[in-house]
Amino acid sequence: MSKPIVFVSDLGLRDEFVGVCDAVMARIAPASRVIHLSHGVPPMDIVAGALMLAQALPFSPDDAVALGIVDPGVGSARKPIAVETGSGRLLVGPDNGLLSLAWQALGGARTAVQITSDAVLLTPISPVFHGRDVFAPAAAHVANGLPMARLGPPVDVETLVAIRIREPVVDRRRIETEVLDIDRFGNVRLSVRPEQLAAAGFEPQEALELATTGGGARARRIATYGDVKVGEVGVLVDAWGWIAVIRYEASAAELLGARAGDPVWIVPAV
């Protein structure tokens, strides 16, 4: 039976890029269901795409093949790869770190291959759109049951590009962290988890001061969006377990003057 495919990219939905990849997969694996995780990853933001994949795969069908296309190096020397994780998941995408958070969360990269087989690639391969000519066909073929080893020669998993989410610096009542990303409501996700706030000695209900290079705010600990009041800044645990900063029908990102990657310091509110 055909496996489903979980597809994440920065290709956007305005142009036909995603649709053509979908068409290619429907041609090769007509019975494979495609789950469009998101195509709104900020252009070329490998970390954001990697994070989405790693977080969403546990919620996906166990046999789902992951297809990731955030590929600033398309047409360059970076390898197109498929990876099997320790838990048996198959991941397809460029060797630029995009798949690495997923395999770190799923038992590590057990084996990997470089996608080179003429039976898989659509030729002539456009040097500007490997999504259509390399990654979508590879994902569809393995979803269809082709053994991963038939995509191309093995790659030493130790040589694969891997990224890491920067851990916060946790001191006594002071944390230095950074903005992980910002969603379409302007909510600011920080690279810090509630356990780390506790480890720094903050009480569960204690108000926090958030300082950025562009601004700052006093924030109250809340449980859900509805708890924040007009004019107030709230801090909650988001759906993926990260600390997020929100406002009542307003953009926390704007208030903090913060963008992805910017440093944020958390200290006690005065």
Site residues (vs its own copies, CB under 8 A): 4, 6, 8, 12-16, 18-20, 22-24, 26-27, 30, 33, 35-40, 43-44, 52, 55-56, 59-62, 64, 72-76, 122, 126-129, 132, 183-185, 223-227, 236-239, 249
Q: How far is the CB of 171 from its own copies (least distance, A)?
A: 28
Nearer to its own copies, 52 or 217 (CB): 52
Nearer to its own copies, 125 or 267 (CB): 125
Could you give the C-alpha distances from 152 to 95, 114, 139, 199, 204, in angstroms and in order? 14, 5, 13, 47, 52
Give residues with Cβ within 8 angstroms of 258, minimum separation 6. Answer: 179, 182, 188, 212, 214, 215, 264
Nearer to its own copies, 30 or 214 (CB): 30
Give residues with Cβ within 8 angstroms of 232, minimum separation 6. Answer: 220, 247, 248
Q: How far is the CB of 42 from its own copies (least distance, A)?
A: 9
Nearer to its own copies, 213 or 224 (CB): 224
Nearer to its own copies, 35 or 146 (CB): 35
Q: How far is the CB of 174 from its own copies (least distance, A)?
A: 26
Q: How far is the CB of 94 from its own copies (least distance, A)?
A: 11
Rounded-to-integer distance, Cα 234 and Cα 219, Å = 5
Other CB atoms within 10 Å distance of the CB of residue 240:
14
Q: How far is the CB of 75 from its own copies (least distance, A)?
A: 3
Q: How far is the CB of 203 from its own copies (least distance, A)?
A: 19
The two structure tokens encoding residue 23: 């068409």
Nearer to its own copies, 68 or 216 (CB): 68
- The full DSSP string for 65-131 is EEEEE--TTTTSSPPEEEEEETTS-EEEEESSSTTHHHHHHTT-EEEEEE---TTTS-SSPPTT-HI
